[in-house]
Amino acid sequence: MTGRIQRALSGFYYVKGENGTLLTCKARGKFRREGISPLVGDHVVCCEIPGGEGRIDEILPRRNFFERPSVANIDQMVIVCSQAIPKTDPYLVDRMTAIAALKGCEVLICINKCDLDPADTLREYYESAGFRTVCVSAETGEGIDALREQLVGRLSAVTGNSGVGKSSILNALDPNMSLKTGEVSQALGRGRHTTRHVELYELPCGAEIIDTPGFSSFETTGLNLELKARLPECFPEFAPYREDCRFVGCSHTKEKGCAVRQAVKDGQIVMLNPGHCGGALEIANILRGEDGCGKDLIIAEAGDLMYGCRSYEVGNILHTGLKVHVPVATLPASDIDRLMKVLGPIFPCLQPAANVLETGFEGAGAMLHPIPSLMNINKMDLGQSYDYYMEGITPHIADIISACDKERVAVCRALGVDALALGDMLVKTYKLEPKDSLYDLIQSIESYRALRNPTNTKHRFIVEDTMSGLVPLASVGHALGIPTPMMDAFVNIASAVCGRDFWKEGRTAEKLGMAGKTLEEIQEMVR
């Protein structure tokens, strides 16, 4: 018979046949050998076997599929978020919308808990980008009828971070569902997983809903693999202008005469998260250089990634939560009030910094990424997997990081930036108790646990954080007369390991327009 998978649990698939019967099935071994997994929403061919169970013999062609959440053939992705506890990191929503676009799937943004926080800024943020958005309260019933109207006649997958209220919303849509719900941890600011499996429900209104567990990791396969070719398609705000662009495969970044670039509006924000050393200066040169954008743009950069996350392999990203304190600055610095008015309510972790020298050159990535990676290059060569921070940073490696960090602080001080030492920065960022050593401090950071190591020399920890971290720090140090022998050594080691010249490829003082300038002239650039 043919049917559709309604539920997947512990290797069993519950298939609803065309006659309405439900058959408990196992998948044929060939699927495992071929690296294929049946998904909820799949149309399949199955047969009964002795014992009253069934077997899935064939998976019929899919309209689309997602690995996280594990669903197939959906019409729209309903992304549930909230501005109340737990607050949703908009970055997660943005990544899901991009992936949905690559998969040919519509998106509905559902903002829950509007009785606690109306989330007007978040709603306007996504509505202005062209997304259908509905605000609801599963507790009071506000907006539930409007949400139901968006679901009728469609197969929708509901996803979002744990504790945001996905199961509560489904109970509000159909009280007969009686799904288990949980409370949000006040200490952690996030919910506990109550949905443990993926299941398809048919609502009396004619809607079909797939409930999914809250995500701490989510699929990015399509986004990573098709980034260069298709990323512009992921932004609905580009749609009215893409057809007028005269360039095939245009990236909409610096092409002269690009219709999308011409459509940029006054007051729009270009936010680098993070900017790394000199990122805002580089972007400003691109946007405001020869034949550049003449609009009143806010160019901003965060001093660090606003969330804890790692990508171990193509297709998987682990997200461990928002940080509590991340400095942010604008270029020019006088635009900071305009930036905070827009982004402050969405990202409460952002704290104004003096200028982009502070946010750019204070970053910890150049210290914590290429140095430990290169010090453990033997493990990479042997294919060994290890906990990057807990095992990869030993007491002696932490001492080497500290030595490099002293050079970073010296460069920052020469730029007029009262930079914190790395240890003090980590204490402030993660609200930690100070420790006697950098090693002990790193070992105490819960967000750093269970994060795996880079597996090849093309990893951003080595390539990106050398080119846009160590190189600009050392190069600007050379320009200002600050010796940086430790950082110089690691740039040279990274170049040798990767077979590249990172001094030539990297973000040098010359490329940033800082070479040959006095401190006063450099500071004038960022005011």
393-447: per-residue pLDDT in tens? 999 999 999 999 999 999 999 999 988 999 998 998 888 999 999 999 999 998 8
For the chain, list the domains and their CATH numbers.
2-61 (2.40.50.140), 66-219 (3.40.50.300), 264-526 (1.10.1040.10)
Cα 184 to Cα 122, 188, 274, 364, distances in angstroms: 21, 8, 29, 31
pLDDT at 287 over 80: no
The answer on pLDDT for 187 being more than 50 is no
pLDDT tens digit string along 89-121?
787 788 788 888 888 889 999 999 999 998 888
Most confident by average pLDDT, 246-260, 264-278, 378-392:
378-392
Place of tokens 């050398």: 466
Is the pLDDT reported for residue 280 higher than 70?
Answer: yes
Question: To which residue do tokens 């003449």 refer?
Answer: 294
Q: What pLDDT digit, counting tens, does each position of 310-352 carry?
A: 655 544 566 666 678 889 999 999 999 999 998 888 888 899 9
* Separation of alpha carbons 524 and 334, rounded Å: 12
* Model pTM score: 0.57
Does residue 228 carry a pLDDT above 90?
Answer: no
Asked if 464 and 368 count as a contact pair (C-beta separation under 8 A), the reply is: no
pLDDT grade, residue 185 (50/70/90)? very low
Residue in 326, 322, 321 with CA at minimum distance from that of residue 340: 326
* Residues of the chain above pLDDT 90, percent: 50
- Taking each helix axis from N to C end, the angle separating 422-430 and 395-414, rounded to the nearest 10 degrees, works out to 100
The candidate with the shortest Cα–Cα distance to 102, out of 276, 279, 232, is 232
Q: What average pLDDT does the segment 24-28 reach? A: 93
